[in-house]
């Protein structure tokens, strides 16, 4: 009896195991078919959604870059046409085509951006080149400044003013030394009157003659007259007019005055400056001085170490 009772129980257990294994096999087959066939049917939809999103993002990015470049006045007409085509393709559901057109538009915008940067660099180089040329020409302009200022002033204005000031200083030293400077005083007063009336050429001539009262006394020239040496026996003086020679002397002095004025008078306010002054003590303007070769007299810039004309080493 006992053996008969055990046998049905064993049969029930085996059946349960078989049923369980069958269920597992069926579930595995279901999962297999689900993954193999059903997923294959869903993939196109998922892929299409991804392409749609990528196309949309590409169009938005291209339009943003185009807007920035358009504000910079760049020529982006070709890229705009591509963006327009990409939007139309997107609206028709042609997402792959739309994506490709948007990407091509982005590449075109990148080329335009690179072109802009190169243009900016070229512009910057041109500006630097112009600045370099300006620096090189600045010294030449400084050399021309005095000449241009003189053209705006009346003829012989600076020269006559310089000579009058110079004679005044010489006259003070002569009076301090107890010398008779009557002739120089007369010429100086005449030069002042002509200067105040605006006749600067005549003022310069009289100032030059007053200057010769101090400069040429030892050689016998006083006030445009050639003075003979005193005769020890007679103790008398004999003078004869020599206006032609005086005129020559005037022209020589005027030329020297022209050079001296450039170094001793401020071209802005006309006040006198010292030889080593860099700025005018009255108006603060920079004192323009010409640098010349000591051998040939050719003009030289501040950076020159040798004369451009004769090769002499400059101090």
Give mean pLDDT in consecutive 10-residue pieces for the chain, a chain of 315 residues. Answer: 51 79 87 70 67 86 85 84 89 88 87 62 54 54 53 74 85 80 80 88 85 57 37 38 49 53 59 71 73 77 80 81
For the chain, the domains span 13-116, 149-284, 286-315
pLDDT at 243: 47
Secondary structure of the chain in HEC code, one letter for each residue: CHHHHHHHHHHHHHHHHHHHHHHHHHHHHHHHHHHHHHHHHHHHHHHHHHHHHHHHHHHHHHHHHHHHHHHCCCCCHHHHHHHHHHHHHHHCCCHHHHHHHHHHHHHHHHHHHHHHHHHHHHHHHHHHHHHHHHHHHHHHHHHHHHHHHHHHCCCCHHHHHHHHHHHHHHHHHHHHCCCCCHHHHHHHHHHHHHHHCCCHHHHHHHHHHHHHHHHCHHHCEECCEEECCCCCCCCCCCEEECHHHHHHHHHHHHHHHHHHHHHHECCCCCCECCCCCCECCCCCCECCCCEECCCCCCEECCCCCECCCCCCECC
pLDDT at 135: 54
- Report d(CA 158, CA 122) in Å as an integer: 47
pLDDT at 236: 38
pLDDT at 314: 79
Burial string for 242-260 (b: 16+ CB within 10 Å, else e) reads eeeebeebbeebbeebeee
pLDDT at 38: 61
pLDDT at 308: 82
- Report d(CA 94, CA 202) in Å as an integer: 97
pLDDT at 8: 58
pLDDT at 217: 44
pLDDT at 219: 39
Neighbouring CB atoms inside 10 A of 279's CB total 12
For 201, 214, 311, the CA distances from 156, given in Å and listed in that order, are 6, 22, 34
Q: What is the pLDDT of residues 117-162, one digit of tens each?
A: 555 555 555 555 555 555 555 555 555 555 555 556 677 788 888 8
Cβ–Cβ < 8 Å for 211, 170: yes
pLDDT at 18: 85
| pTM, two decimal places | 0.31
For 244, the token pair is: 């032609």
Cβ–Cβ < 8 Å for 99, 82: no
């Amino acid at each position: 009896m006992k053996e008969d009772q055990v046998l049905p129980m064993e049969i029930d257990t085996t059946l349960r195991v078989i049923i369980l294994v069958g269920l597992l096999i069926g579930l595995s087959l279901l999962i297999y078919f689900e993954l193999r066939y059903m997923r294959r049917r869903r993939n196109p939809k998922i892929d299409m959604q991804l392409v749609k999103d990528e196309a949309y993002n590409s169009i938005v990015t291209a339009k943003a870059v185009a807007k920035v470049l358009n504000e910079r006045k760049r020529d982006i007409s070709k890229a705009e046409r591509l963006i327009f085509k990409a939007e139309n393709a997107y609206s028709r559901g042609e997402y792959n085509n739309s994506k490709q057109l948007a990407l091509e538009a982005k590449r075109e915008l990148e080329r335009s951006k690179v072109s802009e940067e190169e243009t900016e660099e070229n512009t910057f180089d041109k500006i630097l080149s112009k600045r370099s040329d300006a620096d090189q020409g600045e010294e030449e302009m400084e050399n021309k400044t005095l000449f241009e200022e003189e053209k705006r002033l009346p003829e012989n204005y600076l020269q006559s003013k310089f000579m009058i000031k110079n004679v005044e200083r010489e006259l003070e030293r002569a009076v301090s030394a107890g010398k008779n400077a009557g002739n120089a005083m007369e010429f100086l007063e005449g030069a002042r009157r002509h200067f105040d009336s605006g006749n600067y050429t005549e003022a310069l001539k009289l100032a030059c003659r007053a200057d010769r009262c101090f400069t040429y006394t030892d050689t016998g020239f006083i006030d445009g007259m050639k003075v003979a040496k005193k005769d020890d026996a007679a103790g008398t003086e004999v003078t004869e007019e020599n206006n032609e020679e005086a005129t020559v002397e005037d022209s020589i002095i005027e030329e020297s005055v022209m050079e001296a004025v450039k170094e001793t008078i401020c071209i802005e306010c006309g006040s006198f400056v010292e030889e080593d002054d860099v700025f005018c003590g009255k108006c603060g303007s920079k004192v323009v001085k010409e640098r010349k070769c000591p051998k040939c007299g050719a003009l030289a810039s501040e950076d020159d170490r040798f004369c451009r004309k004769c090769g002499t080493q400059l101090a």
